[in-house]
Amino acid sequence: MRVVVALACLLAACLAQKPHPCKSPPLMTGALTMSTQNEKLWLYAKYLYDALGQRIRLFEFGTMNNKTFTYDILLLYNQHVIYQIFHKNKTCIISPLEGDFVPFAIPDEANLLGQAIVGSSSGPGQGLLVNTWIGDLPNKEGKYMSTVTEFGCIPVSLAYQAKEYGWAVLSYFNNVIGITDPSLLNPPSFCPGADTLTGSDKKPVGFFSLFHQDN
């Protein structure tokens, strides 16, 4: 009985704690969908995320302007390099990578919109305690709204204003802590090394500019 009371108090104490900005686990594997308000872009992706090595692998499929696409990309932020990988014919396109690595986290300057239970707190396995934060994008380019779990700071959803796309909404799911296959965070052996880019005048590629390419 004492244990039950102690656990109830602990739970109440946890629930009663004011949410704080948090960092997501540095190693995660999972999936996400992304859709935009203007319906130009929709995608589903499986992801591997390594904040320690600043590496992200994405296996994507989706539609851009009513054309379907699939992408297998590896972003190596510490080398400022992006690989597009084509397993079918064992080729790669290597390009300089635009922008810096941004880890999954709630920035310190974010404002708490509220804490909520997704689902219900009335039964076991029926609910999930989440915190929703809002703030300004870097360079004040718009607003964002980010929801993470109270326990574990696992990303749930991210909505942000993406210029020509209107609001873009990312939903994360099937996340596990850890990397299910670390080899997927290195370029395949048939890809050229990052040093082959030295002295090249290739245009840096960002996340969105990828979808405007013709390949």
Footprint on this chain of its own copies (rule: CB under 8 A): 28, 30-31, 37, 116-130, 149-152, 154, 156, 173-178
Q: Is 210 helix (H, G, I), strand (E, B) or coil?
A: helix
- State how far the Cα of 82 lies from the Cα of 206, in Å rounded to an integer: 9
Q: To the nearest whole angstrom, how small is the minimum distance from the Cβ of residue 194 to its own copies?
A: 32
Which SS3 state, helix, strand or coil, does residue 164 take?
A: helix
Q: Is the Cβ of residue 173 or residue 190 nearer to its own copies in the bound state?
A: 173
Q: How far is the CB of 75 from its own copies (least distance, A)?
A: 22
Name which of 112 and 129 has its Cβ closer to its own copies: 129
State how far the Cα of 211 lies from the Cα of 215, in Å rounded to an integer: 9
CB of 167 to its own copies, least distance (A): 9
- Residue (42 or 86) nearer to its own copies, CB: 42
Rounded to 5 degrees, φ, ψ at 41 are -125, 130
For the bound state, the minimum distance from the C-beta of residue 177 to its own copies, rounded and expressed in Å, comes to: 4
Contact 82, 54 (CB under 8 A): no
- Distance of alpha carbon 22 from its chain centroid, rounded? 15
Name the residue nearer to its own copies (CB basis): 122 or 198: 122
